[in-house]
Amino acid sequence: MVATQSLNEWLPHILDKPWLDSLAPELRVILTVSSLTLIPVIVISMTAFTRIIIVLSLLRQALGLQQTPPNSVLIALSLFLTVFAMSGVFEQINKNSFVPYTNNSIELSAAVNNAIEPLKSFMLSQTDETHFVRVLDMANVAAPKSRDDVSLIHLVPAFMLSELTLAFKMAFLIFLPFLMIDLLVASSLMALGMIMVPPITVSLPLKIMVFILIDGWTLIAGSLVQSFL
């Protein structure tokens, strides 16, 4: 409990410390390069990537395809859909943080704070209040009085829990029509006495054909992007 409170007090204010702006240029370069290792963590935990990659992965399982499309293709598609869905957030970060900092209009600490704010607003808009309250209960802290008082330590896990929940709900709806095809094929083969024929041998091409006819990839991608608006 004490460790959680100490971390909660330390993290939001560390970027405001003057030592960030007083570092030597060489040390600031080293700090910047080292911080690049956190980019995958930020992408996974603070953007739309988690929901998109989970839905696409479960879609592949619903189709009965184990390694097609490959993981690299799904990750690349998820990244581009994430950029597309969060284009407004990234534009705010570029306008309020990256461009002013490269023009030496603001200091490093202000640039980082300006970059965090759009991400924080995005996560707040996508976080289920129930999950946020449960995270606060686990941390044994009082509810924040305003949006500005929300701590990233509590917001990020609540956001990820909301993303996981919604991703599985979307995947369940995607699974249903493919499950019906599997059941119909299995029942038909059983009625025809073709017990030795694996149902997946017949249902797999049928599911792929149906998915292509309805332009499934476009529908899924459009639904994922629209779910963030």
- Residue 179 falls within a domain, yes or no? no
**Alpha-carbon gap, residue 50 to 46, rounded angstroms:** 9
Identify whether 165 is part of a domain. yes
Report yes or no on 186 lying in a domain.
Answer: no
Q: Give domain status of residue 78, yes or no.
A: yes
Q: Is the pTM of this model over 0.85?
A: no
Percent of the chain with pLDDT over 70: 86
Q: What is the pLDDT of residue 149?
A: 78
**Does residue 185 sit within a domain?**
no
Which of 106, 141, 113 lies closest to 8, judged by CA?
141
Domain assignment present for 109:
yes
DSSP state of 94: I
pLDDT digits (tens, 9 = 90+) for 42-69: 888 888 999 999 999 999 988 888 788 8
pLDDT for residue 6: 41
Mean pLDDT of 86-92: 88
* 132 and 154 Cβ atoms separated by less than 8 Å: yes
For the stretch 160-203, pLDDT in tens is: 999 999 999 999 999 898 888 888 888 887 877 777 777 777 88
Distance from C-alpha of 9 to C-alpha of 193, rounded to nearest angstrom: 68
Does 209 fall in a domain?
no
Q: What's the number of domains the chain is made of? A: 1
CA distances (Å), origin 184, targets 8, 188, 193, 212, 229: 54, 6, 14, 19, 36
Domain that holds residue 74: 21-170+217-227
The rounded distance, in Å, linking the Cα atoms of 175 and 59 is 7
pLDDT tens readout for residues 207-219: 889 889 988 899 9
Tell me the per-residue pLDDT of 104-126, one tens digit each, with 9 for 90 and over: 777 777 787 888 888 888 898 88
pLDDT at 19 over 60: no
Examine residue 178 and state whether it is found in any structural domain, yes or no.
no
